[in-house]
Amino acid sequence: MKEIKFSLVYRDMWQASGKYVPRKDQLEKIAPVIIEMGCFSRVETNGGASEQVNLLFGENPNEAVRTFTKPFHEAGIQTHMLDRGLNGLRMNPVPADVRELMYKVKKAQGVDITRIFCGLNDVRNIIPSIRYAKTAGMIPQATMCITYSEVHTVDYYVNMSEQLIAAGAEEICLKDMAGIGRPVMLGKIVKAIKTAHPNIIVQYHGHSGPGFSMASMLEVAKAGVDYLDVAMEPLSWGMVHPDVISVQAMLKDAGFKVPEINMKAYMEARRLTQSFIDDFLGYFIDDRNKLMTSLLVGCGLPGGMMGSLMADLKGVHAGINSYLKDNGKKELSTDELLVMLFDEVKYIWPKLGNPPLVTPFSQYVKNIALMNVMFMIKGQPRWTMIDKNSWDMILGKAGKLPGTLDPEIIELAKKNNYEFYEGNPQDNYPDDLDRFIKEMQENGWDRGQDDEELFEFAMHEKQYRDYKSGEAKKRFEAELEAAIKAKYTKQNIEIPNIRLLKHPNAEPIVAPASGRVIWELDYTDRSTEPVYGKLFKENDPVCTVQTRYGMEQIGSFCTGRIVGIEKKQGDLVQKGEIIAFIEQK
């Protein structure tokens, strides 16, 4: 009976849903509950853009990583991070000495495994990181970005895996970032790897956006996969990942050995995660990312891009329709424009050399397609506007494209006097750590434990400066305030202001989450509330908010009497609204 182990991609659950990730104190709360669930052998704790995001809301990412990894280590659960190879933890290439430092820092912070990928599947961008990781004592998990095209065949991926294993990779990950890998194809890739290298660990990561992921998981399990990446409510499915409950049930029925799930702990982890959403993270989650769509099958774009893609469409929609109206032509709906964009992505992708549609190359292809659609509607030719980053991809500065550039694109490059680059991409980005060391000395900044502050500065220079100056926190607070106002305005709900009190000698009891107010579970008379005038001691339970994830009890923050009721039995309340007023005794 083949054993399948689960990895909870807690970082990616958030990053595939919205912009921000939980704070350090929130990660500290959730970690022991994830452990208590008893079904995870691995947890994704950091990497990708998550540490840059910490800086954006004014938090030290190094402290967050150490805090989150510690309890998992103590419980014997492996931790892993997402590593963009040449780009490290950011969107653009990183000097070699900064890349090398990353592994020493992350190992010291408690990260066991680094999932190294190149958005172009260029092994030259992955192999140095395998070496750096092994030297630092980390497990290098070399990663293949899965997509579907005439170029990206089973043989293509098997050959790539052979190169990575020969370079020292101890594990292989199939990163199906858009979830468009076909199940049978994925099974063949895993079987070929496990047949040739039975001791190599293989892990599958498949997003649920277009709907193939459950079938893909079953196929790779039958082919010998060792680990499957899973999510959990309230951030499973949609554009994220399948839920561990469903995956476990499917595999158990198919005869695989799978771990049991402590459902009491699952429900508590679900409640806590929802409380983080209600706290502030939910204001930055696009509702579209909660839905699956088969439209992604054709264009192959990652589901996590849908939010930014729709924002882009919204930005050009009005301008396009204004042009059409002025020229006596039929205006386009958002859906019509969306289909045009998807069709354009499908058309131009092979002409651009079939780059896997993963960050940042998915954004580049989408940007070119959007510009093409906009200019063609106005009667101008394709390729009228291509940004610098997209040209760098086309010219080979970030790595070798998997496919062949269309002669039309090559001719366009020559017309612009652009030169194609065939060297090693890392050679374009020489060592630069000394510059950061010098500036930290001049500013009197501490390089941090195990040089972690030096690394953070060198990896995220602009964001780190803003973090140190306090500008990041100010900007985030303004952004959060604007997001809250926008949400309440959209729902036609008065924006709460707990400082405008009706009872001058009292303090408000504020809803910690959205839901239905329950004063007493067996109380049905909505005209008055039995608690009016009642004396509560500090920490006594006052009432409960019935949320969609469970019951959120509210305790008294002082010894006092209820002097005002704003929400009666059974009333709906939004997070942050006043439920009642209590006057301290």
Continuous segment of H or E residues that includes residue 105? helix 96-108
In single-letter form, the type of residue at position 280 comes to: F
The hierarchical CATH code for the domain 5-290 is 3.20.20.70
Q: Quick: pLDDT tens for 108-148.
A: 999 999 999 999 999 999 999 999 999 999 999 999 999 99
Query: Mean pLDDT over residues 561-582, rounded?
Result: 84
Token pair in block for residue 444: 């009197």
Distance CA 27, CA 66 (A): 10
Distance CA 17, CA 238 (A): 9
Confidence of residue 489 (pLDDT cuts 50, 70, 90): low
pTM over 0.85: no
Q: Which of 51, 46, 78, 42 is nearest to 204 (CA)?
A: 42
> What does 298-311 look like in DSSP terms, one character per residue?
HH---GGGHHHHHH
CA distances (Å), origin 107, targets 69, 345, 447, 498: 11, 39, 17, 45
Q: What's the angle, vertex CA 245, arms to CA 240 and CA 251, rounded to 5? A: 105
227, β-bridge pairs: 5, 203
Query: Mean pLDDT over residues 16-43, rounded?
Result: 95
**What residue ranges do the domains of the chain occupy?**
5-290, 295-427, 507-584
> Is residue 346 predicted with pLDDT exceeding 60?
yes
Query: Mean pLDDT over residues 514-519, rounded?
Result: 86
Query: Mean pLDDT over residues 392-418, rounded?
Result: 94
Of 140-149, 292-301, 320-329, 484-493, least confident by mean pLDDT is 484-493
* CB of 151 closer than 8 Å to CB of 168: no
Q: Quick: pLDDT tens for 177-195.
A: 999 999 999 999 999 999 9
**Given this model, what pLDDT does residue 504 score?**
64
Confidence of residue 397 (pLDDT cuts 50, 70, 90): very high
> What does 119-180 look like in DSSP terms, one character per residue?
TT--GGGTHHHHHHHHHHTPEEEEEEE---SSSS-HHHHHHHHHHHHHTT-SEEEEEETTS-
Strand boundaries in 197-321, DSSP class E? 201-206, 227-230
Distance CA 47, CA 153 (A): 28
Confidence of residue 524 (pLDDT cuts 50, 70, 90): very low
The hierarchical CATH code for the domain 507-584 is 2.40.50.100
